[in-house]
Amino acid sequence: MTNMKTTDAISHYTTTAALAAVLDITSGAISQWGEFVPEWVAGRLEKETKGVLVHDIELYKRLAQVKKEQKQAA
């Protein structure tokens, strides 16, 4: 299983505009995602792609923990 990176999602749909259209959001919103697709999008894309793109729940738990630790350290 691979983690759902923003670049993977864009590649699957060929363009940022095509991905944005599937999600009914703007290309500008996608440009703000960072390395990984937001969790609410990952679940939706896993369903839309019939599992070609995989929503790794554990990844998002780890990302949330890292973010929490960074806040506490600041």
pLDDT means over runs of 10, the chain (74 residues): 84 97 97 94 94 90 91 88
**Biggest distance spanned by C-alpha atoms of the chain:** 40
pLDDT of residue 15: 98
State the pLDDT at residue 2.
Answer: 58
What pLDDT shows up at residue 48? 94
The CATH number corresponding to 6-73 among 1.10.4160, 1.10.3470, 1.10.10, 1.10.260 equals 1.10.260
Could you say which DSSP state residue 5 is in? Answer: B
**Rg, C-alpha atoms of the chain:** 13
pTM as predicted: 0.82
DSSP 16-73: HHHHHHHHTS-HHHHHTS-SB--HHHHHHHHHHTTTSS---HHHHHHHHHHHHHHHHH
pLDDT of residue 59: 86
